[in-house]
Amino acid sequence: MLDFGHFRNDIIVGHIRVPCEAPVLTWHDHGLRFNNGRGSRRRHPKQKIDLIVLHWTGGEGTAKQIYKTLTSRELGVEFVVDREGVIWQFADPARVDTFDAGRVNPRSVGIEIVNYGFRRGRPPRKGAVRPIYQSSLNGKARSFAGFFPGQMRSTVALCDALRGPLKAIPKRLPRNDKGEVLRRVMTREEVDDYSGVLGHFHVSRRKTDPGTEIFDVLTASVYECTTATAPSSTSRTSRDSLFTSKTANTLRCGSLRAAFSKQCVSVKIFWPNGVTSRTCIGLDKKPIYTWATTRTMKTSGGMMPKGKRYVR
């Protein structure tokens, strides 16, 4: 464990101190805490926490100023990484659900990193020393203010520390079909099927935080990139090989969810007429069986009654 002088080197998760390779101040040190009330609520004890959502603060204020601003807006966050890379903990993520990421709040832990992000005019005085980088987000070229090295090191250390007690959070980032970190908003179905670390812009089209630079740092820290629609730990090659172009065209008519195993992939399709169907595809790319799960549905082979029908 590291020695940070008057700083701690552990965070609190589920009333247990967890080692963290970065300087930390908890509510026992700074006296500021989000508890059950404005900006937060009690987290259900059986709620699975499988997401870490990264934000930037949109300014260069101190952690205490950020706490005051969030409280006045009836918002909250579990952690803030300040300009010097010190982690400020404002809530126990296993006990308290803070309001920072919309509908994924119940299953996520929020981390705010102090950074003004971007400005159309002159940057704030404290942010003038930040490096500027160019990137593409949601198909648009943008200029972002970068994080300081100490902030990025502390963010990676905090993500690693949280993954210890919160076992449902894998060391994973969302990616596109080329294997690159996803730089667009994810669909509702993609978010529902995903677990790991993501940005606020992944879950809300109105957001651009925390930019894209931090994900390059996480990738360098051996955070695995995985497709947004693939929740399984099965290898990407075997999963992707199951979907031929013909299969993709067939499934395009309805929204789908897919569950993967070592032997097959089960695809659940939600059709516009209200029918729900499933198709199980083996590793040889051939259907094993298909069935309508809600009511009789019409198929190219005739009427498919409710229940399973083997096709080979």
| pLDDT value of residue 253 | 42
> Are residues 138 and 252 located together in one domain of the fold?
no
Confidence of residue 221 (pLDDT cuts 50, 70, 90): confident
CB 65 within 8 A of CB 50: no
> Are residues 220 and 242 located together in one domain of the fold?
no
> Are residues 244 and 180 located together in one domain of the fold?
no
> Are residues 265 and 294 located together in one domain of the fold?
yes
> Are residues 305 and 159 located together in one domain of the fold?
no
Domain range spanning residue 263?
236-310
Q: Is residue 22 domain-resident?
A: yes
Q: Which of 174, 204, 227 is the last residue of a domain?
A: 227
Q: Which of 195, 227, 259 is the last residue of a domain?
A: 227
pLDDT at 151 over 80: yes
286 vs 136: which has the higher pLDDT: 136
> Are residues 105 and 137 located together in one domain of the fold?
yes
Please write the tens of the pLDDT for every residue from 158-207.
999 999 999 999 999 999 988 899 999 999 999 999 999 999 999 999 99
| pLDDT value of residue 241 | 38
Cis-peptide into 287, omega within 30 deg: no
Give 223's contacts (C-beta < 8 A, 6+ positions apart).
159, 171, 172, 173, 196, 197
Q: Is residue 2 domain-resident?
A: no
- Between 37-51, 150-164, 291-305, the lowest mean confidence (pLDDT) is in 291-305
Into how many domains does the chain fold?
Answer: 2
> Are residues 288 and 160 located together in one domain of the fold?
no
Q: Which of 227, 252, 268 is the last residue of a domain?
A: 227
Q: Is residue 179 domain-resident?
A: yes
> Are residues 165 and 244 located together in one domain of the fold?
no
Name the β-bridge partners of 150: none
| pLDDT value of residue 148 | 96
Q: Is residue 1 domain-resident?
A: no
Distance CA 68, CA 77 (A): 12
> Are residues 220 and 140 located together in one domain of the fold?
yes
> Are residues 200 and 247 located together in one domain of the fold?
no
> Are residues 177 and 291 located together in one domain of the fold?
no
Q: Is residue 284 domain-resident?
A: yes
Please write the tens of the pLDDT for every residue from 222-236.
777 666 654 444 333
Please write the tens of the pLDDT for every residue from 231-271.
444 333 333 333 333 344 344 344 444 444 445 566 666 55
